[in-house]
Amino acid sequence: MDPFDNVNPSGAGMHYLEPQQEEAAQAHFEHQLRASQPILAASASPGPGSSRTVTDGNKRAQAIPENERCAAAPFVRARAQLAATLTCANIAELRREIELAAQRSAQWSRAIRSSGYRVDSSRVYDDVVASSYLELERFQNHASHCKPHALDRQSAMAHLRSMAALRYDEAPWNIWGGQRLDLGRAAAEHMRGDTSSSPFVSLSEEASQLLLSPDDDNQFGAKVIAETANELHTYTVPRVATWTAEEIVSILEDGTENDEPDLAWVSDTPTEEREVLFLGGNLDDYRVASAPNPYRKSGGRG
């Protein structure tokens, strides 16, 4: 048995989207996102004898005083943050979104004949990654061992959209509160090692710290995993798709007395491990590096 896959059933109910539903919802969402971009039709500077087509949008842009115009950098940064928080973009997709937004803002400078709209795309990327993403590590025996046991075909973005729909549509009846508590309970059970019905995947902020875990007598414990796994993988994941112990505790504090054992367990999780849970079946989309496990003891399990 893979120590990452220690199993026991969880009673939490989860909402599932069929792959076809998720693909259709994603296509519709991306269409709406593109449609919301304030596109200004602009051409290059006219040559001799040619005429420039000026749209109403161009005219309005030219009429705005220089000191009141929206700078390009905030626009590009906002687009990048939306990509991280609404579409759960991986870092390659984030780079593409930033470049597209920078190209769009460059059209504005041509439309108003200004050169003050240049954007430092690299700086925007670095800032958004630092604020909206986490770099996490995971010991695995194989590259494919990064799927949850439940809802493994549901992406991080599908989970976020499902939770947002509950908040928007069902908030008057507090159904989202119940779903949030169910997810918190599932997350707590996952941290206790009961993962067979969990939609989460475990990672660590600093994998080497698992070697300091006090649960070395547990065959499925963090230290054993760190010393026996074949590989160490690095993932850069959107913060909105991660669940920390502190966040899980804050959710369980709104539960019932039946949640007190889980609450106590998660509250007492060894700080050395710095476990973080990823909610979604597409963790492999966020892999940025992989290598043989440098902490593996010789003679470890293959």
- Mind listing the pLDDT tens digit for each residue in 115-126? 555 789 999 999
**Are residues 277 and 193 in contact, defined by beta-carbon separation less than 8 angstroms?**
no
* pLDDT higher at 65 or 38: 65
Confidence of residue 45 (pLDDT cuts 50, 70, 90): very low
Q: 44-48, 61-65, 276-280, 290-294: lowest mean pLDDT where? A: 44-48
* pLDDT higher at 258 or 42: 258
* pLDDT higher at 60 or 51: 60
* pLDDT higher at 294 or 60: 294
**Are residues 161 and 25 in contact, defined by beta-carbon separation less than 8 angstroms?**
yes
Q: What is the rounded distance in angstroms from the CA atom of residue 41 to the CA atom of residue 111?
A: 8
Strand order in the sheet with 231-238: 242-244, 275-279, 200-204, 133-140, 231-238, 287-292
Average pLDDT over residues 33-42: 45
CA distances from 155 to 8, 105, 152, 218 (A): 23, 31, 8, 31
Per-residue model confidence (pLDDT) at position 85: 95
Confidence of residue 1 (pLDDT cuts 50, 70, 90): very low
DSSP reduced 3-state for 136 = strand
Q: 139-143, 185-189, 191-195: lowest mean pLDDT where? A: 191-195
Per-residue model confidence (pLDDT) at position 214: 72
Q: What is the rounded distance in angstroms from the CA atom of residue 229 to the CA atom of residue 241?
A: 25
Per-residue model confidence (pLDDT) at position 220: 65
Query: 0.85 cut: is pTM over it?
Result: no
pLDDT tens digits along 75-93: 899 999 999 999 999 999 9
Per-residue model confidence (pLDDT) at position 167: 74
* pLDDT higher at 106 or 286: 286
* pLDDT higher at 36 or 156: 156
Q: What is the rounded distance in angstroms from the CA atom of residue 40 to the CA atom of residue 259?
A: 54
